[in-house]
Amino acid sequence: MMERTLSIIKPDAVGKGVIGQIITRFEEAGLNILGMKMVHLSKTQAKEFYAEHEGRSYFDGLTEFMTIGPSVVMVLGGEDVIKKSRALMGATNSPEAADGTIRREFGTDGRRNAVHGSDSPETAVREISYFFDASELVGGT
Ligand code: CDP
Ligand code: MG
């Protein structure tokens, strides 16, 4: 099934200077970049974007982390792109992520884990529309 997903290169990875290496992972796996921008999230934006995590013990730390510097937000498209992008990312906790995954290579821990990827088609629609208008995407109008 052709899908879209919202992918974020988080502030830790942008700070490390590995934007290009992460994008290359996605492109070499055949995922297509349909939109991309660099954004420095405010605390309000981080809380809105991660609203489904409100009330979790890590919510404040997570939303603070997302504001420490700019992120790269991207829309990736392709066959089964939600599952494929999450497989390339690896497990949430970077040291436990499988060898060869983005989080294992570029992440630090269970918070500073280099990348975000939508977890379902419904979430992807909400997350993409949070950052992009249809006219900003390849194939948009
Ligand atoms: O990003 P992913 O879908 O793999 O994990 P999540 O469980 O949806 O959590 C979202 C984000 O919250 C993670 O990617 C981490 O950056 C952060 N987090 C955290 O700071 N501390 C935790 N104990 C769990 C998650
Ligand atoms: Mg998640």
Q: Pick from 62, 65, 102, 103 the residue to mutate for probing ligand 1's pocket: most ligand atoms within 8 Å of its CB.
A: 62
Structure tokens at 38: 């660099």
Whether the per-residue pLDDT at 104 is higher than 80: the answer is yes
Q: What percent of the chain is modeled with pLDDT above 70?
A: 99
What type of residue is 56? R
Active site residue 130: no
Whether 115 and 18 have beta carbons less than 8 Å apart is answered as: no
DSSP letter, residue 135: G
C-beta separation of 119 from 17 below 8 A? no
Dump pLDDT digits (tens) for 12-58.
999 999 999 999 999 999 999 999 999 999 999 999 999 999 999 99
Q: What sign does the dihedral 5-10-16-17 (CA atoms) show?
A: positive
Please determine, for residue 82, whether its predicted confidence score (pLDDT) is greater than 80: yes
Residue 141 has pLDDT above 80, yes or no: no
Furthest-apart CA atoms within the chain: distance in Å: 41
Q: Read off the pLDDT of residues 41-53 as tens digits, 9 standing for 90 and up.
A: 999 999 999 999 9
CA 88 to chain centre: 11
- Cα 62 to middle of ligand 2, angstroms: 12
Question: Is 83 a residue of the active site?
Answer: no
- Total residue count of the chain as it appears in this document: 141
Mean pLDDT of 62-85: 98
pLDDT in the model for residue 21? 98
Q: Are 79 and 1 in contact (CB under 8 A)?
A: yes
Ligand 1 contacts (CB < 6 A) are 58, 61-62, 92, 110-111, 113, 116, 119
- For tokens 């055949």, name the residue: 30
Confidence of residue 139 (pLDDT cuts 50, 70, 90): confident
> Which residue's alpha carbon is nearest to atom 5 within ligand 1?
92
Say how many Å lie between the CA of residue 139 and the centre of ligand 1.
Answer: 31
